[in-house]
Amino acid sequence: MHSSENKAKLPLTIRILVGIAGIPSIVLAYMLVLTFMREGIAGISAFEVVYSLVGAVALYIAITGKRLF
């Protein structure tokens, strides 16, 4: 088995691209929090939640440089 510490980190250019691609998802997550506070959970669809989670994972990859698979 390979441990996660033996894996090479992603190059900086790839990390920057992943981070830039994840920014709209973080903006959506902010909008979801505002919608939840104003209208409740009924105003939020499942797709929006999944899209925001994908953006959070993208930013995690961009910041740490770790590969998930």
* Residue 57 contacts residue 68 (beta carbons within 8 Å): yes
Predicted pLDDT of residue 36: 92
| Sign of the torsion angle spanned by Cα atoms 34, 37, 43, 49 | positive
Average pLDDT over residues 12-35: 90
Distance CA 62, CA 64 (A): 6
pTM of the model: 0.70
Which token pair is 15? 């990390």
Place of tokens 């691609």: 21
Predicted pLDDT of residue 3: 55
pLDDT of 1 strictly over 50: no
Q: Which of 55, 32, 56, 30 is nearest to 42 (CA)?
A: 32
Predicted pLDDT of residue 33: 92
